């Protein structure tokens, strides 16, 4: 989900050395330059948005990630810091000596040895904690954008099937019930996909895969043009 501008803030984390940023939990070693970032506006090109999201992806090494499966009974889940021993280190932290032995290509935090930090902590967080802002993927990251854009694709598909391709509207199915409607919708989309594949191959003079499999000739008959059926007008009786 997207975040309102009032939710795009930096909050103290549940324990010392942690911080909430845009709905995700990070260690306080997250650089200040990575905390307040501007989301790409709608008018940007895809290339410009990708460059803008590189700054959001740079937060990833400092993020707490799920350390275990969610406990459905207690409604909690354990999260591990970026320098938790026993897992692949995402940062080099002086308070976790083992992490300092990994290559220098991994970011080194500014933590001071002996002072509290969240890099090597493992926390158990309840689902109710900051539940309005929590994100499955870090907000505005590349993975978040791919997941968020699924909504646009699905709504485009629904709109095309309702108005442009099929006219699946109220009254299209004369059967009640979720299971029956889902089954009829699946059959409808399968038929529509078969018609679309037939049109694609026919306009290019190519045989359909089933025609090749069955050894049939190319169907070169002209395609029928699908039009909407005009509703019957009401006749006035004076």
Q: What is the pLDDT of residues 46-88, one digit of tens each?
A: 889 889 999 999 999 999 999 889 999 999 999 999 999 777 8
* 211: helix, strand or coil: helix
Is there a contact between 110 and 119 (Cβ–Cβ < 8 Å)?
no
Specify the residue for token string 């889940």: 77
* Chain position carrying tokens 């220098």: 104
The average pLDDT across 177-193 equals 90
The CA-based angle 168-223-166, given to 5 degrees, is: 5
Count how many domains the chain has. 2
Domain assignment present for 68: yes
pLDDT for 236 equals 56
Domain boundary, last residue among 77, 102, 136: 136
pTM over 0.75, yes/no: no
pLDDT class of 28 with cuts at 50, 70, 90: very high
63 and 101 fall within a common domain: yes
Tell me the per-residue pLDDT of 204-223, one tens digit each, with 9 for 90 and over.
Answer: 878 888 888 888 877 766 66
- Same domain flag for 113 and 24: yes
Residue 5 resides in a domain: no
| Opening angle at CA 188, ends 184 and 191, nearest 5 | 140
Of the three residues 136, 165, 186, the one that is the final residue of a domain is 136
For residues 125 and 157, state if they share a domain.
Answer: no
Residue 231 lies in a domain: no
In a domain, 14, yes or no: yes
User: pLDDT band for position 229 (50/70/90)?
Assistant: very low
Question: Which structural domain, as residue segments, surrounds residue 206?
Answer: 153-214
**Which pLDDT score, from 0 to 100, does residue 167 have?**
83
């Amino acid at each position: 989900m997207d975040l309102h501008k009032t939710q795009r803030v930096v909050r103290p984390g549940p324990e010392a050395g942690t911080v909430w940023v845009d709905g995700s939990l990070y260690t306080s070693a997250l650089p200040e330059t990575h905390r307040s970032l501007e989301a790409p506006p709608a008018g940007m090109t895809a290339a410009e948005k990708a460059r803008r999201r590189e700054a959001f992806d740079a937060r990833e090494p400092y993020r707490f990630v799920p350390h275990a499966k969610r406990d459905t009974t207690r409604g909690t889940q354990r999260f591990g810091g970026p320098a938790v021993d026993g897992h692949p280190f995402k940062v080099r932290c002086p308070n976790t000596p083992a992490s300092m032995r990994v290559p220098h290509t991994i970011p080194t935090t500014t933590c001071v040895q002996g002072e509290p930090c969240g890099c090597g902590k493992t926390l158990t967080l309840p689902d109710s904690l900051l539940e309005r802002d929590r994100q499955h993927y870090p907000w505005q990251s590349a993975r978040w954008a791919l997941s968020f854009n699924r909504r646009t694709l699905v709504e485009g598909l629904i709109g095309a099937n309702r108005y442009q391709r099929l006219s699946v509207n109220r009254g299209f199915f004369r059967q009640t019930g979720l299971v029956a409607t889902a089954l009829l919708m699946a059959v409808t989309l399968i038929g529509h996909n078969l018609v679309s594949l037939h049109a694609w191959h026919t306009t290019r003079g190519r045989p359909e895969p089933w025609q090749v499999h069955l050894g049939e000739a190319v169907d070169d008959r002209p395609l029928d043009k699908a039009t909407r059926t005009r509703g019957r007008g009401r006749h006035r009786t004076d």
